[in-house]
Structure 1
Amino acid sequence: MLESELLNSDMPLHLKNRAFRCARQHLDSTPSNKLNSRRLALALSLKKEFDSSYGPTWHCIVGTNFESYVTHSIGGLLYFSIDKIYILLFKIAVEPLDH
């Protein structure tokens, strides 16, 4: 089983659990020999899963070494790691620009 760690979150428990399950399933089902492709596919998988289930404007960053500062919607931030792969999943509110 892959080791995981919650690093930061203001996300409700049911959303966190869904993200953990989705990430674990993805990582368990893909070969680890191409780590960059695996991380990109995980980010796309989580984004698509959350966009389709909870509405658009979810973003996902996956890597082994990155720093980030993001603005997110309340209840829409999850930062965790699984087996030394760090995952930042967050939702932003999109408002139309006034011209």
Structure 2
Amino acid sequence: MLEGKAIVGETDMLQTVQQDALHLAAKALDLFDVTESTEIARFIKKDFDKTHGPGWQCIVGTDFGSFVTHCHGCFIYFGIGSLSIMLFRGVVNQADEAKFPILETVNA
């Protein structure tokens, strides 16, 4: 794992879900080299899909811009060392829109 602590830049997640994201990122960095950003993103996304339901998206890198729409309570952007990680849940289908009617847009 990279030395240092994760620094959360922006989030609207519950504290427990934030901790899941940070723990998973640390675990991914134990398994993959920091240059394997796609593998890190895949690992985090698949675990969140399994534990928190489908529709999660994960972006990992050292330099990226974004403008995304996400379900309320389902967004975190944080850094660990030189890597930035954005994890959010979008709407999966119309049935999910009924469950998660409030969407927010974030420019991170």
TM-score (norm 2): 0.79
Could you tell me how far apart the structure 2 residues matched to 1:46 and 1:29 are? 12
Could you tell me how far apart the structure 2 residues matched to 1:59 and 1:79 are? 12
Relative to structure 1, the CA distance from residue 73 to residue 83 in structure 2 (aligned partners, 3 Å threshold; closer, same or farther) is same
How far off is 1:89 after superposition?
0.2
- Residue 4 of structure 1 is matched in structure 2 by 6
Q: How does 1:46-61 map to 2 (within 5 A)?
A: 46-61=44-59
| Conservation of the 8 A alpha-carbon contact between 2:76 and 2:87 | yes
- Residue 65 of structure 1 is matched in structure 2 by 63
Could you tell me how far apart the structure 2 residues matched to 1:56 and 1:4 are? 25
Alignment match of 1:28 (pick from 14, 30, 42): 30
- Residue 92 of structure 2 is matched in structure 1 by 94
Two-structure CA RMSD over aligned residues (Å): 1.3
**Residue 40 (structure 1) aligned with residue 43 (structure 2):** no
Structure 1: gaps spanning 5 or more residues: none
- Residue 76 of structure 2 is matched in structure 1 by 78
The one-letter amino acid paired with 2:18 is: K
Larger strand fraction of residues: 2
Q: 1:41 is paired with a residue of what secondary structure? A: helix
Structure 2: gaps spanning 5 or more residues: 95-108
TM-score (norm 1): 0.86
How far off is 1:31 after superposition?
3.6
How far off is 1:2 after superposition?
2.9
